[in-house]
Amino acid sequence: MFATTFPVTILTVSLGEIARDLGSSETTLAWVISAPLLVSALALPVMGKMGDLHGHRRVFLIGFAAASVLAGCTALAWSAGSLIAFRTLAQVTGAATQPTSMALIMSVYGREERVKALGWWSLVAAGSPAIGLAVGGPLVDAFGWPTLFLMQAMFGAVAVAVGALVLRETTERKTDVRFDVAGAATLAIGTGSLMFAFNQAPIRGLADPWILGAVVLAPAGIVAFVRAERRADAPLLPLEFLQRRNFRAPLVASVFQGAAYMGGFVLAPLLVDNLFGYSVSAISLLMLIRPAVFSASAPVGGNLASRIGERPVAIFGAAAVTVALLLFAAGAQSESIALIVAGLALQGVGNGTAQPPLNATLANSVDEEDLGIASAAQRMAFQVGSSMGITVLTAVYGGDGTASSFTRAYIVGAMLGAAAIIAASAIRSTDRGSRTELLAAVTDPRQ
């Protein structure tokens, strides 16, 4: 997780330098960020299902090895096109690591303990981009942007070597089950078109033919996916999962949690720049508050959920993100940097505490053999929601740099957060009765 996520923030900051070095524009190089986000989201369910069918350890190691090699190739990119291609391929193969790593972790913990383990998983996912910005920045300044990808390749090689030694396979390889190609293709069309529309609408405009085509294609792809899954002998994502309350509710909550969190994430630097005139370095340091608090609070959220249940912790996390957005709105209106700092910290607390219970609840709603696709579904839902939130809040903001426009956008973001609260309220916490009875039995001298 560290090797695949630490380059994100420093890569975003370095786009200008990379564009100059390759003789390209920042607009073109923005696809180094956008293309991997779009394509890796589509790869998540494929990689998750491949892990369920062929073994999570096997898919994890193959995907991670390929991602490490491609990261090394990215350091040798000679043009904007080659950089975008190598980076996208590296992230697509690296997508194997997210659902399969979660499945590997969850396979060695009981259902009531998974949420604690996923708290530590979330700690690394949130903390590594912050470390990348702090440590990678000086190295990129000193040795150039290829150093970033050479570091990723090196960390990846170490992870593959250690993983090959210590990881155990979770499931037998299923040679009698065919991969659901039709389901994967139609899901990719539906979600890919939706994410493309969200991602590019602020840039191209709603009247752009590509955006209009994507808006039409997205629902058509989803309808085709439902039909394909109904006919499939071994569906990519069994539709009966969606009838389960503890599968459906975390998915919906993840969409709106991602929308509220990432929408606020993208606008915050613009808010500080326009209203307070901070330097880029000062803004970067200020923005580190959010991932740092996210990283620190994730294990706390996991441990708390294992004691009092996933539902109240998930609700608290969604509520914290919602209140954080209201603090941003109030901070913009009153031009108070203290409220902005409080909002950044509270956003980190909210997402950090919400992610472990949402992930664990969804995983506990399926059998062990479906952990990969369940984990992938949650990650994809969060990424789709993130794209939606960025687009919606950016559109509401409008780019005029005024306090009122930021306030308006953050109020809309708080509404998305409120939807996450409602969805999280539908979760049923994992039954820990059997564990309580067992502990009582082994500590009772009469037993």
Helix 337-364 with 245-276: angle, nearest 10 deg: 160
Is residue 252 located within the same domain as residue 397?
Answer: yes
Q: Among 116, 151, 169, identify where a domain stops.
A: 169
- CA dist 172 and 322 (Å) reads 43
pTM beyond cutoff 0.75: yes
- CA dist 162 and 53 (Å) reads 23
DSSP string, 216-269: HHHHHHHHHHHHHHHH-SS-SS-GGGGGSHHHHHHHHHHHHHHHHHHHHHHHHH
Q: What are the C-alpha distances in Å from 183 to residues 39, 189, 222, 236, 445?
A: 16, 10, 10, 6, 55
Are 302 and 283 within 8 A, CB to CB? no
Are 416 and 318 within 8 A, CB to CB? no
Q: Among 169, 187, 209, identify where a domain stops.
A: 169
- CA dist 90 and 4 (Å) reads 9
Tokens 């975390």 belong to 250
Residue 292 included in any domain: yes
Could you read off the pLDDT tens digit of each residue along the chain, which spans 447 residues?
Answer: 788 777 776 676 676 778 888 888 766 777 787 788 778 878 888 888 888 888 889 999 998 899 999 999 998 988 888 988 998 898 888 877 888 888 888 888 888 888 888 888 888 877 777 777 667 667 777 778 888 888 889 988 998 999 999 998 887 777 667 888 898 899 889 888 888 888 777 777 778 888 889 889 999 999 999 999 998 888 888 889 999 999 999 999 999 999 999 888 878 888 888 888 887 677 777 878 888 888 889 889 889 998 899 999 999 999 999 999 999 999 999 999 999 999 999 999 999 999 999 988 988 998 888 888 888 888 888 888 888 888 888 888 887 888 999 999 999 999 999 999 999 999 998 876 544 443 444 444 443
Helices (H) then strands (E): counts for the chain:
21, 0
Nearest to 315 by CA among 412, 414, 426, 410: 426
Contacts of 212 (CB under 8 A, 6+ apart): 206
Long-range CB pairs of 103-109 (<8 Å, 24+ gap) are 103/48, 103/51, 103/52, 103/56, 103/170, 103/371, 103/372, 103/375, 104/56, 104/57, 104/60, 104/167, 104/170, 106/360, 106/363, 106/371, 106/375, 107/56, 107/170, 107/368, 107/371, 108/168
Residue 405 included in any domain: yes
Residue 209 included in any domain: no
Chain-centroid distance, C-alpha 303: 21
Is residue 313 located within the same domain as residue 438?
Answer: yes
Confidence at residue 445, expressed as pLDDT on a 0 to 100 scale: 42
Is residue 145 located within the same domain as residue 256?
Answer: no
- Amino acid at site 40: S
Is residue 165 located within the same domain as residue 247?
Answer: no
Residue 196 included in any domain: no
Q: Among 169, 197, 213, identify where a domain stops.
A: 169
Are 247 and 389 within 8 A, CB to CB? no
- CA dist 217 and 383 (Å) reads 19
Dihedral class, residue 335 (left if φ above 0, else alpha if ψ from -120 to 50, else beta): left
Residue 221 included in any domain: no
List, for residues 183-239, the tens digit of each pLDDT value. Answer: 889 988 988 888 888 877 777 777 888 888 988 999 999 999 999 999 888 888 888
- CA dist 112 and 50 (Å) reads 26
Burial class from Cβ neighbours inside 10 Å (0-12, 13-18, 19+) for residue 420 reads: buried
Is residue 155 located within the same domain as residue 38?
Answer: yes
Residue 188 included in any domain: no
Q: For the chain, how long is the longest CA-to-CA vector?
A: 78
- CA dist 21 and 317 (Å) reads 42
Q: Which domain CATH number covers 48?
A: 1.20.1250.20
Contacts of 188 (CB under 8 A, 6+ apart): 42, 221
Give the structural domain span for 57.
1-169
Domain count, the chain: 2
Is residue 27 located within the same domain as residue 127?
Answer: yes
Confidence at residue 433, expressed as pLDDT on a 0 to 100 scale: 56
Nearest to 151 by CA among 219, 75, 224, 245: 75
Helix-strand-coil split of the chain, %, nearest 5: 85, 0, 15
Are 38 and 199 within 8 A, CB to CB? yes
